[in-house]
Amino acid sequence: MRIQENLDKRNELFTYISNVTNTVQDPRVVSIELEEKEHLMQAIDATMTWYEDNPDAGGVSFEEKLKQLQTISGPLFNRAMGFDIQSPGPYQAS
């Protein structure tokens, strides 16, 4: 059962990476600044590199990487969709 859980978490991370990549690269998404897109693409690239280098990582590790990427992408996508996000992203100076 644990093997299936790890596989599910691995697949969940890969799916999220794919979805975020497709969204960021979509030319119709114009409400995300270029600097924000570049920062997000760096995070995606780093996560994908980790994903490829750690195929046997446990489900908890995949879940942690997913949450890290969501922490970066979530506020950008919320703002792009018109939600008012008050906290600055990690790419912005305070």
Q: Where are the domains of the chain?
A: 2-25+32-80
Of how many residues is the chain composed? 94
| The three-state (H, E, C) secondary structure of the chain, written as one string | CHHHHHHHHHHHHHHHHHHHHHHHHCCCCCCCCHHHHHHHHHHHHHHHHHHHHCCCCCHHHHHHHHHHHHHHHHHHHHHHCCCCCCCCCCCCCC
Residue 1: pLDDT band by 50, 70, 90 thresholds? low
21-62 pLDDT tens trace: 998 888 887 788 889 999 999 999 999 999 999 999 999 999
Q: Is pLDDT larger for residue 70 or for residue 77?
A: 70
CATH architecture of residue range(s) 2-25+32-80: Up-down Bundle (1.20)
pLDDT score of 64 more than 50: yes
Angle between the N-to-C axes of helices 2-25 and 34-53, in degrees from 0 to 180, rounded to the nearest 10 = 150
pLDDT at 39: 94
Q: Which amino acid is at 58?
A: G
Residue 83: pLDDT band by 50, 70, 90 thresholds? low
